[in-house]
Structure 1
Amino acid sequence: MDNKRYFSIGEVSRLKNVTIKALRYYHNIGLLIPAYTNPENGYRYYTINQFIYLDIIKICKQSNVSVKEIKALFAKADTNCLKFYLEQKNEEIHKEIKKLEQLNKQIEILKTAIHSSEDELMNNGFNIQTFKDRYFLSLPTQDGELNEIKSFDKLDEKLGELAVQTFQYGLIYSCHHDIGKSVMYFV
């Protein structure tokens, strides 16, 4: 061994939170070869410069990157290529976070709708609400059940584009007190 500071496989395992088994596996497949292996006892030693590779391996593994892909990245030995690859992974993660946040919102809306439906059932099926800030999408339709279904499909499609899902459908009536009549506006 030369004068560099070497870390035993056990020290690396503790410092970088990687199992010894994983380090041995990385060595056996040529992904991360120790800086020095004692020829007498086979003990593996690493330098601090190799820690960055372990960090990259861990991040890639958490991002479901195969060992083969990681080896290909290391084989290129191109810092710009690695930075670009990590930026792509970062974008993918942000997209996934957005999808999960949207799913979380949809679940909360659905839970609220279910709770509201339960309350309506307890009140003989009626629910009267006043909304302060509420937006409605409207779409003209022709009479007939099939045309109404097509209109619902178009509205659902538009809501999907806007990434807004409410899961709430209902009836909107206009009450004309002076003539004692209610007119259905929306189903």
Structure 2
Amino acid sequence: MYTIGEFSKIGKVTTKMLRHYDKIGLIKPNYVNPENQYRFYGKSQIKDILTINKLKRFGFSLEEIKKVIENEKDRNEEELNKLIKKRIEEIKIEIKLNSSILFELKEIERKIMKGDDIMSIKRSFNISICQLEEFNILSIRDRIAVNEIGDLINKLFEKVYKNGLNPTGNVMTMYYDEDFDHDMTDLEVCVSVDREFKSEELSTKTFKGGLHVYTTFIGPYEEIGEAYAALMDWIKQNDYRIIGAPFDKYVKGPETKCNSSEYVTEVYFPIMKK
């Protein structure tokens, strides 16, 4: 048997973290002294702590690690394979993202070497007005960090296909906050679908359409503020006002395996004359 301090050295993890693992049921001590509450771990648990460390290095969350270990012990190969495949797909997306970041950094490096202004804004935008028609959408609204939008979109499509619906348009993200908060944003991801649907847990709703001003932005999402600024300036200059949540429509993105500089996003603001 090993004390918690000894097991901490073996597993290269703090005693505080071992207590947390115990609390969430990830790895519990083999024995707890009822008199002084000292924790003791067995030799067979060395494999478990080393497995946890490996899965953490692979980027699994503690909740996912718990599922992996439980499925491995239960010989549930199907569920275990699903978890592994899911992480493989996530890593592929991360690789694409990092490749895109590397490309952008090299472009910045090239500009620096040429003496160019790396912060200059050079894009120009064609701005148009359109009357959007009503259509059925399935959506999920949540308050999340902006970098979690992809996870919310995946959850949305799980619901679409689980309920036998077919997407009929591009994914859109609507933003409801007056003040933008990158780490906690009130947003709604939605996609048009081929029919109305209603169940106890979710149902389609109508996107009401109406008068919108829009433009097309080409480039990485973190620079899309240029398009927002251009639209806001146009709205002010042409005596309109914003009457609802703006939204982004993703025309071309990471799923196409292109560089982020080639992403195509349409940005819409619902408007009316003052």
Compute the TM-score of the two structures, normalised by the length of structure 2: 0.37
Q: Which has the larger radius of gyration?
A: 1
Unaligned runs of 5+ in 1: 1-5, 120-144, 147-152, 168-187
Cα deviation per residue 1:28-80 (whole Å; 9 max; x = unaligned)?
3333211122334322121232233324444555636254x544555554342
Q: Which residue matches 1:78?
A: 74
The CA deviation at 1:164 is 4.2
Cα shift at 1:20: 0.6
Question: How many angstroms apart in 2 are the aligned matches of 1:155 and 1:30?
Answer: 47
Deviations 1:72-117 (A, max 9, x none): 5555543423354234223312320231022111220233135335
Return closer, same or farther for 1:43/1:166 CA change in 2, 3 Å cut-off: closer
Alignment correspondent of 1:174: none
Structure 2 match to 1:65: 61
Match of 1:52 in 2: 47
User: Is 1:8 the counterpart of 2:6 in the alignment?
Assistant: no
Q: Provide the C-alpha distance between the structure 1 equivalents of 2:253 and 2:69, rounded to a whole number of angstroms.
A: 44
Greater length-normalized contact order (CA 8 Å, ≥ 6 residues apart): 2
Residue 111 of structure 1 pairs with residue 104 of structure 2? no
The CA distance in 1 between the partners of 2:62 and 2:8, in whole Å, is 21
Kindly indicate which of the two structures has a greater share of residues assigned to strand.
2
Q: Which runs of 5+ in 2 are unaligned?
A: 118-124, 127-215, 220-250, 263-274
Equivalent residue number for residue 93 of structure 1: 91
CA distance in 2, matches of 1:107, 1:61: 28
1:48 alignment partner, SS class: coil
- Do the aligned partners of residues 71 and 164 (structure 1) sit closer, same or farther apart at CA in structure 2, a change above 3 Å counting? closer
Where does residue 126 of structure 1 map in the other structure? Answer: none
For 1:52 and 1:29, the matched residues in 2 are separated by: 18
CA distance in 1, matches of 2:258, 2:111: 18
Do the aligned partners of residues 29 and 102 (structure 1) sit closer, same or farther apart at CA in structure 2, a change above 3 Å counting?
closer
Q: Is 2:63 the counterpart of 1:34? A: no
Supply the RMSD in Å over aligned alpha carbons: 3.8
SS, match of residue 99 in structure 1: helix
Q: How many residues align?
A: 130
Q: Give the Cα separation in 2 of the matches to 1:118 and 1:78.
A: 60
> What letter matches 1:163 in structure 2?
C
Contact 1:109–1:166 (CA under 8 A) maintained in structure 2? no
**Relative to structure 1, is the Cα distance of residues 159 and 75 closer, same or farther in structure 2, using a 3 angstrom cutoff?**
closer
- Rounded Cα–Cα distance in structure 1 between residues aligned with 2:112 and 2:22: 54
Contact 2:100 2:260 in 1 (8 A): no
Instruction: Tell me whether 1:21 sits opposite 2:21 in the alignment.
Output: no
1:163 aligns with 2:161: no
